[in-house]
Amino acid sequence: MSPPSLHETIHSLLAPGKGILAADESLPTLGRRFETHGIPSTAESRRAYRELLFSAPQMGDSISGVILFDETIRQRNSSDVPFATALARDGMVPGIKVDKGVVGLTNFAGETITEGLDGLRDRLTEYRSFGARFAKWRAVIHIGPTLPTEHAIRCNTHSLALYAALCQETGLVPIVEPETVMDGAHSLARCAEVTQSVLETVFSALVSQRVRLEHVLLKVNMVISGTDCPRKDEVSEVSHATRQCLLRAVPAAVPGILFLSGGQSDELATLRLAAICALPNLPWTISFSFGRALQESVMNAWKGNPANIPAAQAKLLQHAAANGRATLHPSKAIPEPLRPESSNSPPTSLLPKEPIVRPAEGLRWELGGILAQAGNFGAIHSKSEAHRFQSELLRIHPPEEIERMRLYVREKLPPGSRVGGAATRELERDFRRAADQLHDERYRQAGFGDVVKGLLLWVETTEERADENRLLKTLEI
């Protein structure tokens, strides 16, 4: 039997209602967690703990794959079966962490670079012979008053791209993980800015390295404020900021996005995951690849005592199932409706007076995303470009929200409006106020006049298309 293709591996990893267990902690990291509970860190104690995780009954119902550490993929369970083989038999895809951790980036205080490229091609071949079907490489990006630097981002994304290319060459699916860490006092907006910049650079590097994006999985942080930030984010703020960031930076060719927990509590990570999965019209499969958020309660229950294994496994299954449900039925994982965030609400001058029926999940109007797309496609000079703009909006936003925007523009720009006229100048002022409030540079850079011109032509072609559709229906009758 031939080995599974990259496409088949991705299909298995992105199975509905399932996510990936990150059990790839390095020896020092796992040792520190053991020490907290008074557990000696030895090869046998680490093996016993991994077996506790991997042998939990029916874990494959919520876990599609497991990321192993170098030591673990070489170990066997108590039945003398290699861990990778045992996982595959239970319907989970074995993977492997292949980076060798972070070190300080020379001459760049406070920034790091991930090591592990030396000899990587040979190590990937060896891991594949052990049964690994995917790999993971983590780059760490820190936020500070002057961080990250462009050099640090470029160095880390270059390593990610080269690693991904080597993985695909070897027949392994690369999980690319550029993590913007939570440490610091930065705001949610600052995290969004850095995360977007990092992701844009990552995919530029992947394309330059000729990596096939349809055979890559992205593991990424949610957009959240730093741990020392005095303002705590609402769940809805995190989900909308994360969605906006991903839509701007991640190509639709990428089949799936896996969120990391990044030090969040298990409950909060699940709630935020559910809120992101509830958002409409995302072009990727959304899932999770949690480590600490799945294991923290397990370690607390186990404490190195074999008698506690059933209770510890029950904790793992409970949290894994909750996250699986979050990806399938987001509303069931959220105890109460998400509250719209008043600080990020669109200016009232940009809202039409007519009421509109809300989507089933009660999600608010994504004004910022629509205007950002208007900036991306602002320089529209033909009807075909206007149709392309409308198609892009419909891909990202619910149809009723697009209709709301069209009605507003039609009200602001009556028949006979021209760019530079009084009506368009008023609309430009509205957009400028929205830009100041939303801190969005996309359509600022395109020029407000071009944005208005594009929206004006878009409305005209939309109404022409509606007339054509009505005529076609009449002819059919």
Query: In this predicted model, what pLDDT tens digit does every residue of 3-55 receive, in sequence order?
Result: 789 999 999 999 999 999 999 999 999 999 999 999 999 999 999 999 999 99
Helix 266-277 with 292-302: angle, nearest 10 deg: 150
Please list the rounded mean pLDDT of every run of 10 residues in the chain (477 residues).
86 96 96 94 98 97 98 98 98 98 97 98 98 98 96 98 98 98 95 97 96 97 96 92 94 96 93 92 94 96 96 96 86 37 35 32 42 59 68 66 74 75 78 63 60 74 66 50
- Asked if 90 contacts 21 with a C-beta cutoff of 8 angstroms, the reply is no
25, 51, 111, 177: which is the annotated catalytic residue? 177
Q: Domain residue spans in the chain?
A: 6-333, 345-476
pLDDT at 473: 57
In the residue annotation, 177 being an active-site residue is answered as yes
Q: Which two tokens stand for residue 411?
A: 């009200």
Among 345, 383, 381, 343, CA closest to 188: 343
Nearest CA to 367 out of 408, 334, 332 is that of 408
Query: What does the DSSP assignment read for 117-178?
Result: -TTHHHHHHHHHHHT--EEEEEEEE--BTTBS-HHHHHHHHHHHHHHHHHHHHHT-EEEEEE
Catalytic residue among 18, 97, 219, 315: 219
- The CA-atom distances, in angstroms, between 34 and each of 30, 39, 40, 292, 380 are 6, 5, 7, 13, 60
3-class secondary-structure state, position 300: helix
Return the bridge partners of 67, or none. 22, 95
Pick the CATH number of 6-333 from 3.40.50.150, 3.40.50.2300, 3.20.20.70, 3.40.50.720: 3.20.20.70
Q: What is the pTM of this model?
A: 0.72
CA 37 to chain centre: 32
pLDDT value at residue 189: 94
Q: Which amino acid does the sequence have at 174?
A: P
Concerning whether 18 is annotated as a catalytic residue, the answer is: no
Q: Got the DSSP string for 396-446?
A: HS-HHHHHHHHHHHHHHS-TT--TTSHHHHHHHHHHHHHHHHHT--HHHHH
| Secondary structure (3-state) at 185 | coil
